[in-house]
């Protein structure tokens, strides 16, 4: 568990701010458009986790996200002069939809600048709500820079998605409803992107229910709040992961951090697999398909329960449910791994007749989900195998020990990202007829924003100077594309190659020493 303790609040310096936010949240006129959402008791999960688990259902908003609250409150507080030329905002989706619908309700022209990587469902909804969409750049930062230029050139009022007092106040109304529905919550888990929801909710809850613990939950690869706590101020992340696109923010807001550092008790980070598992749990309990950012806080709640005492009332915010249907394929695959219901193993077996059958007998009465093999040499063979499990750590260990007792050499790749993202979709194996290039081969994984033509752009940026020895790319419907590539590099080329990689700006990690590569592909 990744935890960061927030500094203690200085009551004298924060009292005026706290009271002002409390008053404004209580008086926020959002219910002309937003609705009071349900608090759902997750009975099955409560039994499993030995706590009373509740889910605040912001998927029930007209735009299927809490963002409508802040956007509508902001527009309600604009002067007539600020609305003459319309409003503009940069958004990856949910703020865009909230602002578009709020502007339509109030008769204000809204322009939304969105990255080209934005899921179609969010782009289409903005247009359906009457907003003008301008697709610019491949990241939120590029869209945001463009929105600032448009605002200046066209005299439009810029509406920030999170770092704005009126937006923070609007998001704080979630806490007002939650406290009415669950007056004695022990811990509340709130997702963090730019911090607007966490700031608004925590300042309200700590005033009226000071004993309630507030925990912010971040995606492990977009943990800008944790970075801010570590540095003592907002700082830029070098890169952010794109799976949970609704919280893919490089820098926490200044206004939001000033509140969060006083009222948030702790920060937890969660992995992609843990988010996918929570999406599945939400679906099984509510039949709602949460987007990754929407399931973030429940993933943090479940991580908290792994070490908590039990018997508490815990609430998580389902912050949004806007997701492309095709992304479900990726989530379905990953949630099995997040729940430890599949083991991925590399096993050395004898290269002889009957060895496959003997190996399957050693697996026992368990379902094999996949079995990959390719001839390597006359003595032994490496197989890549997936085995379905019940989800307990004990069964996982029993499987490994059973194979070891049967004299098999086993490598557990269940938590190996290279194996999960690439190797299981490749034919694999070593080809004895291929000249040996292992002395000069270096393996790298790349991640880039996914959009039509993204792979072609990646290949063009890589250039034709390098001899590619291995290449794997799979479009799984998520917001990011991932490539595994091998390069034949002699000593004279390595410095130039690494300089080239650095200038490209893609997220990159060397995998040459990865056990999965060493076993199957090297």
Shared-domain flag, residues 459 and 409: no
Residue 425 inside a domain? The answer is: no
Contact 244, 320 (CB under 8 A): no
Final residue in a domain of this structure, among 94, 124, 158? 158
Tell me: pLDDT of 431 over 70.
Answer: no
Shared-domain flag, residues 327 and 186: yes
Shared-domain flag, residues 147 and 225: no
Contact 359, 347 (CB under 8 A): yes
Q: Do strands 266-270 and 3-5 pair parallel, antiparallel, or not at all (unpaired)?
A: antiparallel
Crossing angle between the packed helical segments 165-181 and 67-76, to the nearest 10 degrees: 130
Closest CA to 156 of 81, 255, 101: 81
Select which of 222, 319, 341, 411 is catalytic.
Answer: 319
Select which of 56, 65, 67, 420 is catalytic.
Answer: 67
User: What is the spatial distance between Cα 322 and Cα 90, in angstroms, rounded to a whole number?
Assistant: 17
Q: Is the dihedral of CA 483, 335, 120, 94 positive or negative?
A: negative
495 or 158: which leads in pLDDT: 158
**Residue in the block written with tokens 């007092």:** 165
Shared-domain flag, residues 325 and 345: no
Annotation says 319 is catalytic = yes
**What pLDDT was estimated at residue 12?**
47
Residue 355 inside a domain? The answer is: yes
Final residue in a domain of this structure, among 119, 143, 158? 158
**Beta-bridge partners for 317:** 56
Shared-domain flag, residues 255 and 290: yes
Q: Taking the model in full, what pTM does it have? A: 0.76
Structural domains of the chain, count: 4
Shared-domain flag, residues 267 and 136: no
Residue 253 to residues 198, 199, 249, 470, Cα–Cα distance (Å): 11, 10, 10, 41
Final residue in a domain of this structure, among 104, 132, 158? 158
Shared-domain flag, residues 217 and 295: yes
Tell me: pLDDT of 103 over 90.
Answer: yes
List phi, psi (to 5°) of 117: -85, -5
Tell me: pLDDT of 134 over 90.
Answer: yes
Annotation says 67 is catalytic = yes
Closest CA to 248 of 88, 92, 69: 92
Centre a 10 Å sphere on the Cβ of residue 278 and count the other Cβ atoms it contains: 28
Tell me: pLDDT of 438 over 70.
Answer: no
User: What is the spatial distance between Cα 517 and Cα 521, in angstroms, rounded to a whole number?
Assistant: 5
Shared-domain flag, residues 170 and 314: yes
Residue 303 inside a domain? The answer is: yes
Structure tokens at 504: 């490209």
Residue 122 inside a domain? The answer is: yes
DSSP 121-163: HHHHHHHHTT-EEEE-SSSHHHHHHHHHHHHHHHTPEE--SSS
Shared-domain flag, residues 355 and 319: no
Residue 117 inside a domain? The answer is: yes
Contact 449, 481 (CB under 8 A): yes
Shared-domain flag, residues 196 and 99: no
Longest dimension (CA), the chain: 83
**What pLDDT was estimated at residue 372?**
78
Residue 434 inside a domain? The answer is: no
Contact 299, 275 (CB under 8 A): yes
Shared-domain flag, residues 103 and 115: yes
**What pLDDT was estimated at residue 249?**
86
**What pLDDT was estimated at residue 16?**
63
State the chain's mean pLDDT as an integer. 86
Query: What CATH number is given to the structural domain containing 509?
Result: 3.40.1020.10
Average pLDDT over residues 49-61: 97
Residue 136 inside a domain? The answer is: yes
User: 176 is in which domain, residue-wise?
Assistant: 3-62+165-336
Residue 91 inside a domain? The answer is: yes
358 or 353: which leads in pLDDT: 358
Contact 420, 514 (CB under 8 A): no
Average pLDDT over residues 357-374: 81
Q: Do strands 368-373 and 52-57 pair parallel, antiparallel, or not at all (unpaired)?
A: unpaired
User: What is the spatial distance between Cα 294 and Cα 56, in angstroms, rounded to a whole number?
Assistant: 11
Average pLDDT over residues 390-395: 76
Taking CB atoms within 8 Å and a gap of at least 24, the contacts of 83-87 are 83/108, 83/157, 84/155, 85/109, 85/154, 85/155, 85/156, 85/157, 86/110, 86/111, 86/154, 86/156, 86/157, 87/111, 87/156, 87/157, 87/158, 87/159
Shared-domain flag, residues 72 and 40: no
- Helix ranges (H only) for 270-409 are 272-286, 296-305, 327-338, 355-363, 393-405
């Amino acid at each position: 568990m990744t935890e960061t303790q927030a500094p203690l609040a200085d009551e004298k310096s924060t009292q005026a701010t706290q009271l002002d936010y409390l008053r404004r949240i209580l008086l926020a006129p959002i219910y002309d458009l937003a609705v009071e959402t349900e608090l759902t008791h997750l009975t099955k999960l409560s039994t499993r986790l030995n706590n009373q688990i509740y889910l605040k259902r912001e998927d029930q908003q007209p735009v299927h996200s809490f963002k409508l609250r802040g956007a509508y409150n902001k527009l309600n507080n604009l002067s007539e002069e600020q609305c003459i030329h319309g409003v503009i905002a940069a958004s990856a989706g949910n703020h865009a939809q909230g602002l578009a619908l709020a502007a339509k309700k109030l008769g204000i022209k809204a322009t939304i600048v969105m990255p080209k990587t934005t899921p179609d469902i969010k782009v289409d909804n903005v247009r359906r709500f009457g907003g003008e969409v301008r697709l610019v750049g491949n990241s939120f930062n590029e869209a945001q820079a463009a929105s600032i230029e448009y605002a200046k050139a066209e005299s439009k009022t810029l509406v920030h998605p999170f770092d704005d007092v009126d937006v923070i106040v609007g998001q704080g109304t979630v806490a007002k409803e939650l406290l009415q529905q669950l007056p004695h919550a022990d811990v509340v888990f709130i997702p963090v992107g730019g911090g607007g929801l966490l700031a608004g909710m925590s300042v309200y809850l700590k005033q009226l229910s000071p004993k309630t613990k507030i925990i912010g939950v971040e995606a492990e690869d977009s943990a800008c709040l944790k970075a801010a706590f570590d540095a003592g101020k907002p700082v830029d992340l070098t890169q952010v992961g794109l799976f949970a696109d609704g919280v893919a923010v490089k820098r926490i807001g200044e206004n939001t951090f000033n509140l969060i550092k006083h009222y948030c008790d702790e920060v937890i980070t969660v992995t992609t697999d843990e988010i996918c598992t929570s999406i599945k749990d939400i679906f099984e309990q509510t039949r709602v398909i949460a987007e990754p950012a929407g399931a973030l806080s429940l993933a943090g709640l479940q991580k908290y329960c792994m070490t908590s005492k039990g018997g508490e009332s815990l609430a998580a915010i389902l912050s949004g449910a806007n997701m492309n249907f095709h992304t479900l394929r990726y989530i379905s695959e990953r949630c099995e791994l997040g729940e430890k219901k599949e083991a991925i193993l590399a096993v050395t077996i004898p290269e002889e007749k009957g060895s496959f059958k003997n190996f399957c007998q050693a697996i026992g009465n368990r379902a094999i989900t996949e079995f990959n093999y390719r001839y390597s040499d006359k003595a032994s063979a490496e197989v890549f195998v997936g085995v379905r499990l019940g989800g307990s750590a004990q069964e996982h260990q029993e499987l490994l020990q059973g194979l070891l007792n049967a004299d098999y050499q086993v490598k557990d790749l269940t938590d190996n990202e290279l194996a999960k993202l690439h190797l299981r979709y490749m034919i694999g194996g070593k080809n004895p007829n291929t000249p040996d290039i292992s002395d000069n081969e270096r393996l790298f994984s790349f991640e880039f924003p996914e959009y039509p033509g993204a792979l072609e752009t990646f290949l063009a940026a890589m250039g034709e100077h390098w001899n590619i020895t291995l290449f794997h790319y799979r479009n799984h419907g998520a917001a990011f594309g991932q490539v595994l590539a091998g390069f034949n590099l002699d000593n004279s080329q390595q410095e130039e190659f690494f300089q080239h990689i650095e200038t490209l700006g893609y997220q990159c990690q060397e995998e040459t020493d990865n056990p999965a590569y060493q076993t199957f592909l090297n």
